[in-house]
């Protein structure tokens, strides 16, 4: 994931814009909307990406007008919290971008298309799996309450009523 994010920022992903600049591809069109396929476009500006982001329950929408480049957008996303009941306490951005990226590759190389709903839920699922796989630790940062991590004391757990919806 770190390599993927690094590749996004360093313009090292094999996207249309980069491939055209290196003379590998004649066009730089986005497979969805025929816009210029840059990292900023495919992950945030493309109508498909916007639809995916609109389906992710986050506290605030990062205003792309204030983010002139990908690095600023990624930094701005550090303030964004993914709301319950997603169970995602970490930064959602890498996972949604990864889901958009794999959906793009699947469409181009395997001719299989995913809906925005499928891409959004895949990104949330991956983020949740990553979140649950991390060792439990006390942090002072702003976190979304995670019901699975809150009850440690067996005596306390007997007094707590769990409501699953």
Footprint of Zn ion (CB under 5 A): 30, 32-33, 35, 46
Q: What share of the chain is helix, strand, coil (3-state, %, to 5)?
A: 55, 0, 45
Half-sphere exposure of 120 (CA within 13 A, CB side): 16
Considering the complex, what minimum distance in angstroms separates the CB of residue 164 from Zn ion? 39
Question: In the complex with Zn ion, which residue's Cβ is closer, 17 or 124?
Answer: 17
Considering the complex, what minimum distance in angstroms separates the CB of residue 116 from Zn ion? 12
Question: In the complex with Zn ion, which residue's Cβ is closer, 46 or 114?
Answer: 46
Considering the complex, what minimum distance in angstroms separates the CB of residue 108 from Zn ion? 13
CB 92 within 8 A of CB 24: no
CA distances 133 to 58, 92, 139, 147, Å, are 21, 15, 16, 15
Question: In the complex with Zn ion, which residue's Cβ is closer, 54 or 59?
Answer: 54
């Amino acid at each position: 994931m770190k390599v993927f994010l690094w590749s996004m920022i360093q313009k090292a992903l094999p996207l249309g814009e980069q491939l055209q600049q290196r003379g590998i591809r004649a066009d730089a069109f986005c497979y969805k909307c025929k816009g210029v396929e840059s990292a900023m476009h495919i992950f945030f500006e493309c109508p498909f990406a916007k639809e995916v982001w609109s389906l992710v329950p986050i506290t605030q929408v990062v205003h792309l007008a204030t983010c002139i480049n990908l690095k600023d957008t990624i930094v701005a996303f550090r303030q964004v919290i993914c709301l319950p009941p997603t169970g995602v306490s970490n930064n959602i951005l890498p996972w949604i971008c990864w889901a958009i990226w794999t959906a793009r590759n699947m469409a181009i190389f395997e001719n299989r298309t995913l809906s925005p709903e499928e891409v959004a839920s895949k990104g949330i699922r991956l983020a949740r799996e990553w979140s649950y796989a991390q060792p439990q630790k006390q942090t002072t940062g702003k976190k979304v309450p995670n019901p699975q991590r809150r009850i440690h004391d067996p005596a306390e757990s007997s007094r707590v009523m769990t409501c699953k919806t």
